Amino acid sequence: MKHTESKGLRWGLLALLGTSLLMTACSQEQGETTVQAESAGSDVASSDTVDNPFMHEWDTPFGIPPFEKIRDEHYKPAFDAGIEELRAEIAAIRNNPEPPTFENTIVALEQAGSAVSRVMDVFGNVTNTDTNDALQALEVELYPLLTREVDAIVLDDAIYQRVKAVYEQRDSLGLDEQDARLLELAHRDFVRSGAAMDEVAKARMKEINARMSELTTRFGQNLLAETKNFELVITDESDLSGLPAALVSAGKSAAKAKGRDDAWIFGLNRSVYEAFMTFADNRELRKQLFDGYRSRAAKGGANDSRDLITEIAKLRAEAAELRGYRSHAEFQLETRMAKTPEGAEEFLVKVWEPGLARAKEEKTEMQAIVEEEGHDFIIEGHDWWYYAEKLRQKKYAIDDSEVKPFFELENVKDGAFHVAEKLFGVTFEPLTDVPLWNPQVLPYNVLDENGDHLGVFMIDYYARDSKRGGAWKSNYRDASSVNQEVVRPIVTNNLNLMTPGEGEPTLMSFGEVTTLFHEFGHALHGLMTTQRYARFSGTTGPRDYTEFPAQFMEHYAAEPEVLAIYAKHYETGETIPDSLVEKVRNARVHNQGFKTTEYIAASLLDLKWHDLSANEAANVEDAREFEVETLEAYGKIDEIEPRYRSPYFSHIFAGGYSAGYYAYLWSEILDSDGFDAFKETGNIFNPELAQRLKENVYQAGGREEADVLYRKFRGKDPSIVPLLRNRGFPTGGSE
């Protein structure tokens, strides 16, 4: 789907421990390397302390990392120094002769590790956006080292006993809400990490975690290599039939960059892929691109990830069993809104059934168009996007060439900023002369309703070969205010839009517009947080809740009142006409059968991989066969693939969504129901509701359990009816 949060550490050890429960130390969708951990990064492992920016305070605006001064060889020595500092901090906590208290144990752990976090936050973000061979090799070295370091702390019985002693006194300590929450989460994190296990189990857990760090890093690197290496090269101009001018121009620019003035080159970047599959008249070329996309990391050779998948599933299951859980899914879901794998599956099936039924209707309608055109083939997977677009034009009289001129990137961004100001009083001032990790980055100073500094927002919207795929929000620095030291966040949004031809505007599909609003919602969640501790600051809640503030913002993208602000024709400045707005809004239910089915298929696949026992996972001989058999049991039709096949399902095998990819749909219950609250008042910017939303969601982070926070905003539990209605599905009998 739209969001995966970049791997980077958080300020404070407890925040890191909470994060490590969600994602093994790794970097997502990075390029291939065959360098082994013992020797990786040796050529970038030394740098003089004097000129190493990580060894000094940053005299930069807002403490933005001095990117222009940071070189590849700076990371390893800075990492080593940060680890030594972390060890000293932990030793001071462990060896403190004073009885354990909230301050000398829990707060001390929260504040430990800031030096290594500063290094790894930059490293994790840069390797996601501007990686190279040296950094990829260093990833293979650093993440296992970091994993082992965290394990040494969280599995240290002396540290755990101090945490446990404070936790057992919690009712007599007079803690306020945030202190009590930090204590609760600290104890929970240690227990769930395995602190209460015996020494034999702890030793095995360390082995598992170290191996997992290697496997997930390799998975992501394989995927980037496979995505980067594929090229669909077109030399006959007639084969471009149907493609929009902007896509043709982008293909020509890509070819020229590779020294091919006689060709057009199209790769597997999702924006390029979807546009080509939607508009290319040449059926054989659509099949080539489709097959290239679907076979990534599953063709044999050095980049094949199928064996990695089964080993990851086995090790996750074994780790869960060591902790006393039946499966990794059971372990993961214990602290999320769905609570159990069965609860998540039951919810998914409730939406799967009407979605699959609608998909079959869509297939029948599209097959009729094939026959009307005089063709005798049966629609296959590589035809769906193309004929879905024809069906959309037929039913709604709308096509992208009509819409995209009204969605120029700069205007769309300003529209998102307008919504934030109208709802929450948040404003964005462009920054100049600040360090950037790439010249394409746009930096902003973010101000609250009183004009006070909230944080720095940095936007990186364009695709490039050094950047992982997808769209995501991440942080270079989290917010906190421990001991009156106020630290405001540095938040990023990343998209992968096609770079337009020279001198041409960046025009967006409406799907890309909603993705921008989605990631902006995550950014607001990170920027507006007012929590004292990084452990539950910003987007640190359960996965099936933290997508809610992002998906909530998507609703505003299609509202006529908001479209009137930002949907301006890039040439004439004309506001999008009401007739076209109506078409855009009506067309939102188009192809929902396909979209629902491909997404839920991936979500069910995720749950089934992670509900295996260690023995069951070890007996999976072929990842593709497991995938097919799993989805056949739910009645998936052959023409629709899961949104992600397992070998390129980076959300779950190289990111933080294992047993949690269903979260986007679960959160859609919340965002649909929550936006309904505004619609019911007749004012999508209702100030009273906006204030409750601000205080209990965007500012609250993980201050309380997710269902409690939602009820404080909404005043009741959410209903699934708005979700079904928004997707155009029957709502009778639903609650």
- Which pLDDT belongs to residue 48? 62
Indicate the pLDDT class of residue 734, thresholds 50, 70 and 90: low
pLDDT of residue 299 exceeding 60, the answer is yes
How many percent of the chain have pLDDT more than 70? 93
- Determine phi and psi for 665, rounding to 5 degrees: -75, -40
Element (H, E) at 459: strand 453-462
Q: Coil, strand or helix: which one is 255?
A: helix
Q: Among 366-380, 462-476, 665-679, whose mean pLDDT is lowest?
A: 462-476
Considering the domain 13-225 in this protein, what is its CATH number?
1.10.1370.40
Lowest model confidence (mean pLDDT) among 373-382, 611-620, 725-734: 725-734
Sign of CA dihedral 15, 16, 21, 26: positive
**By three-state DSSP, how is residue 572 classified?**
coil
Q: Residue 656: what pLDDT?
A: 85
User: What three-state secondary structure class fits 495?
Assistant: strand
Summarize the chain as % helix, strand, coil (round to 5). Answer: 60, 5, 35
**Structurally, what CATH architecture does the domain formed by 341-403+590-726 represent?**
Orthogonal Bundle (1.10)
Q: By the 8 A CB rule, do 652 and 223 touch?
A: no
Cite the residue boundaries of each domain of the chain with CATH code 1.10.1370.10: 341-403+590-726
Has residue 39 got a pLDDT over 50?
no
Rounded to two decimals, the pTM is 0.88
* Cα distances (angstroms) measured from residue 732 to each of 594, 667, 699, 729, 735: 21, 21, 36, 9, 9
pLDDT in tens, 647-657: 999 999 998 89
* Average pLDDT over every residue of 287-311: 96
Query: 321: closest CA among 334, 333, 330?
Result: 330
DSSP letter string, 336-347 = STT-SHHHHHHH
Query: What was the pLDDT predicted at 368?
Result: 98
Whole-number Å distance between alpha carbons of 56 and 554: 41
The pLDDT score that the predictor gives to residue 40 is: 33
- Whether pLDDT at 410 is above 60: yes
Most distant CA pair in the chain: distance in Å?
85
Q: Taking Cα atoms as reference points, which of 444, 478, 537 lies closest to residue 120?
A: 478
pLDDT band at 29 (very low <50, low <70, confident <90, very high): very low
Q: Which residues are catalytic?
A: 519
Beta-bridge partners for 630 = none
Average pLDDT value for residue range 225-246: 96
Top-confidence residue, 140 or 101: 101
- pLDDT at position 502 is 85
The answer to whether the beta carbons of residues 718 and 552 sit under 8 Å apart is no
Sequence-distant (6+) residues with CB within 8 A of 433 are 61
Residue 733: what pLDDT? Answer: 57
As a whole number, mean pLDDT of residues 330-355 equals 96
Residues ≥6 apart with Cβ < 8 Å to 686: 678
CATH number for the domain whose boundaries are 404-584: 1.10.1370.40
Give start-end residues of each CATH 1.10.1370.40 domain in the chain. Answer: 13-225, 404-584
Report d(CA 107, CA 105) in Å as an integer: 6
pLDDT of residue 452: 98
